[in-house]
Structure 1
């Protein structure tokens, strides 16, 4: 699952919530149609042409900006009655690879012309995923007083966030995530307090070090807030007390990748509407309190890569809405039983790991237990699952990722595991004492990985699907020659480690293919 999966989950929740925040009337996607005579206002058409002149457009994305009716231009939306421009969607929809960043060769650059101020009814502005390298975000954006939606994420402006954004009192949605290039400058946050209508706020990657002492009281002045994203903001203080909580409607809270060194504050468990809580990659300490059970609406809980310790409370099993759980890379101890999962019927992703080599968390689960969930993703590392292969996986017929790494399993891979007919993206049972022959019947999806490192598997090297790209069989008891056709059977291999076995013969030429 990892942090990237958590981010994807957050984005999914964000999309669902955004549809509720911004009605069609608010966004006004309705362009002027051909069945009436309303056209755009001429002064606004000229203002848009001035905006176009200031932009660099290497891919000619604004080629439709010709003719008299600007309401028909790409990215321009107008009121169907007045003909006034109310929406400008110039986001770069061409993505570069899988990282979600806009493709530079398709991106707008240049200057944002003040002619934008002529668009008096503009309530939706999206310049995200573009490349305004070396350009300061103009302070006059704060004069577009009817704006309800502003998205400048990954637009690569320079400088600081202009405090004039605090004038946008009607703003419902503000996304400034990763919008500064190349490195964000420490930014003040006082301007935020006046945006009392704000429902969605994303400042990911904005340097808020200067705002560390007062960021929480400022955010607490936003009573309508539904989503708050402040990852990678350089925050080091997570106050333990908050006299009164005003943002009680909060559904999504992402404070990951900061530098909090405190315990988890008690006030956080009063946010009973929360569906997503991400505190991963901080330095949080202490125990996970029983008050976690108050968060009955939680769907995604991500506490990975902190310094949390102690036992995992059984109240975790009361979070009946939970879909994804990631509490990996902490220093848990004690016992995990069926009670920790008793009501988690909707659970799809689980990641539980201790910081290796510490194995102080033991799974004490009955061999005949039938889980209430159907997992897609299971990642358990440096915990004691063994010595037997976990039989509670018998009914997990939807798994695509299985990681049972350093889990003290001294067994063979059972026949019933193969009979589940799973199709793996990732199979990792490394650093156990698994023995016997590896089943050849295992199935793998495209671009999959297998890690059987440091076990006691024996027999000939297994030949699986052509879909496998990474294969680690190091430090086992495999014997005999390397199959001469390994390169034909698994032609997509990019990483292969078969060292420290008892193999004989020569290296087949097919590996070079």
Structure 2
């Protein structure tokens, strides 16, 4: 453990010290202690207690200081006192400043920065509690900024149009605030002199309104565009997107947008992440998606899509990590393929009308959610494989029929298995006892007969067993009381409280 008094000892050999890293200690600072470190270039004090530390006028650590990290130091508004220094007299060498995860609340921090360090290139103020509007003058004064992160505050009002006049700005993150106003004003009232270097715009999860202007295409160097979780409306066409040859991430989910893309359009970009939940993509499956061969995360759920999915689309999923096409009206059989899925992905296809056999390549998923479809064959899916790393399998509310297969050892890493509301018959197979990691087993509302398989006692992690609405008979086995202390009778199951069932169906990056 270091204390602030320890720095007096450092002063004896501090004249040439250029880098000092003191993060994640238990240091309590009460006054500036670094004036005797004139050569410091990098200083990291993150994760210490600086509640009583006061910056007056400027940081005054070192005239050569370029990188200052003060993340999670319990800094408050009172830690920064605005002096009488004029903006024109500000001559800080500081290029990178991290004030993230503190307790800053008022806009005074912006004005303090005006007066103290206008040469910044990187500024992190994310995860504070900043509220009120962003001063429009901030973008006019901080002319050297390249990276600005204000994520996760409570900022309100319109997005200053001056951000579009910061000619060096490359990345702007304003996500998870309460910003409002028309998105078009950000583009129409700005020169976007930085459009040849601007790489990332994140306005997600605010209250921004209006139609996405086609002039957004001026930002031709964009690699990351996040507009999801706002109140945007109107159409998005290929005219909005055709200039983004470097685009890698595109988030438009959870607005009132309608994507109207020409079926013959070939995008100039190759996306890694595409989030288009509830974007009215339908009614037919968007053919331009077949050109995206590098997708790792794709969410096109709740889009009113009808009809079958082209085979070429399925063949392009080699790199997928999460695929969500749930809550559409997609039909037909999913073609099987010998393709190797490289990332044991999450695959979420529930609430469609897929039918026929479940293709064996889906067994490579770690989570497979196929509920509320019309799949009819379980045997070939489970039994025609060697082994699987799957942990969640939900096939509830399908048209599965016949006997439960006797080859569950192939999926012995399962934590959650739901086969409820199907037409399965016969006895519960002995091999289900090989699912030793299983926590939830739901077989409700089938035509199962006989007694519970005694091998289920091997499933020591089981917390929920639901076999209601079947034709099972015989006494409740004694091993249920021995092994599962939370189970009283077959009608006392608390499925709705199970954390696995409640896991968010989303492709989070």
Q: Scaled by the length of structure 2, what TM-score is found?
A: 0.74
1:199 to 170, 176, 180: 170
What do residues 449-477 of structure 1 show as CA deviations (whole Å, max 9, x unaligned)? 33222122342274454534444333223
Q: What is the distance in 2 between the residues matched to 1:460 and 1:343?
A: 37
2:408 to 426, 434, 440: 440
Determine the structure 2 residue equivalent to 1:317: 290
Determine the structure 1 residue equivalent to 2:311: 338
Post-superposition offset of 1:169: 0.9
Q: What is the distance in 1 between the residues matched to 2:375 and 2:247?
A: 37
Q: Is 1:410 equivalent to 2:376 in the alignment?
A: yes
Specify whether residues 331 and 229 from structure 1 end up closer, same or farther in structure 2 by C-alpha distance, changes over 3 A only: same
- 1:45-84 maps to which residues of 2 (within 5 A)? 60=27, 66=33, 68-69=36-37, 71=40, 74-75=44-45, 84=64
Where relative contact order (Cα < 8 A, 6+ residues apart) is larger, the structure is: 1
What SS is found at the alignment partner of 2:398?
coil
Q: Which moved more, 1:329-338 or 1:370-379?
A: 370-379
What SS is found at the alignment partner of 1:191?
helix
Q: What is the distance in 2 between the residues matched to 1:59 and 1:416?
A: 54
What SS is found at the alignment partner of 2:242?
helix
1:245 to 198, 217, 220: 217
Q: What is the distance in 1 between the residues matched to 2:312 and 2:121?
A: 46
Q: Is 1:424 equivalent to 2:390 in the alignment?
A: yes
1:186 to 113, 133, 157: 157
Q: What is the distance in 2 between the residues matched to 1:426 and 1:292?
A: 37
Post-superposition offset of 1:441: 1.2
Q: Is 1:177 equivalent to 2:177 in the alignment?
A: no
Q: Is 1:130 equivalent to 2:97 in the alignment?
A: no
What SS is found at the alignment partner of 2:256?
coil
- 1:97-496 maps to which residues of 2 (within 5 A)? 107-109=74-76, 111-114=78-81, 120-132=92-104, 137-143=109-115, 144-166=117-139, 167-180=141-154, 184-217=155-188, 221=192, 222-223=194-195, 224-242=197-215, 245-265=217-237, 266-285=239-258, 287-290=260-263, 293-342=266-315, 345-355=318-328, 359=329, 361-363=330-332, 366=335, 369-371=337-339, 374=342, 376-377=344-345, 378-391=347-360, 393=361, 398-414=364-380, 419-435=385-401, 436-438=403-405, 439-443=407-411, 445=413, 448-458=415-425, 459-460=427-428, 462-463=432-433, 465-482=435-452, 489-491=459-461, 493=463, 495-496=464-465
Determine the structure 1 residue equivalent to 2:489: none
Determine the structure 2 residue equivalent to 1:11: none
Where in structure 2 are there 5+ consecutive unaligned residues? 1-9, 47-61, 487-509
What do residues 276-318 of structure 1 show as CA deviations (whole Å, max 9, x unaligned)? 1111122223544336521432121111133331212333222
Q: What is the distance in 2 between the residues matched to 1:323 and 1:172?
A: 28
Post-superposition offset of 1:233: 1.4
Q: What is the distance in 2 between the residues matched to 1:253 and 1:401?
A: 28
What do residues 51-91 of structure 1 show as CA deviations (whole Å, max 9, x unaligned)? xxxxxx99646599857438486439xxxxx8621111112
What SS is found at the alignment partner of 1:262?
strand
What SS is found at the alignment partner of 2:409?
coil
Specify whether residues 370 and 460 from structure 1 end up closer, same or farther in structure 2 by C-alpha distance, changes over 3 A only: closer
Post-superposition offset of 1:402: 1.5
2:67 to 84, 87, 101: 87
Q: What is the distance in 1 between the residues matched to 2:31 and 2:471?
A: 67
Specify whether residues 146 and 335 from structure 1 end up closer, same or farther in structure 2 by C-alpha distance, changes over 3 A only: same
Specify whether residues 231 and 188 from structure 1 end up closer, same or farther in structure 2 by C-alpha distance, changes over 3 A only: closer
What do residues 408-457 of structure 1 show as CA deviations (whole Å, max 9, x unaligned)? 111233166562411123211121111321543143559x4332221223
What do residues 87-126 of structure 1 show as CA deviations (whole Å, max 9, x unaligned)? 111123xxxxxxxxxxxxx744453324898881111111
Q: What is the distance in 2 between the residues matched to 1:422 and 1:137?
A: 53
Determine the structure 1 residue equivalent to 2:498: none
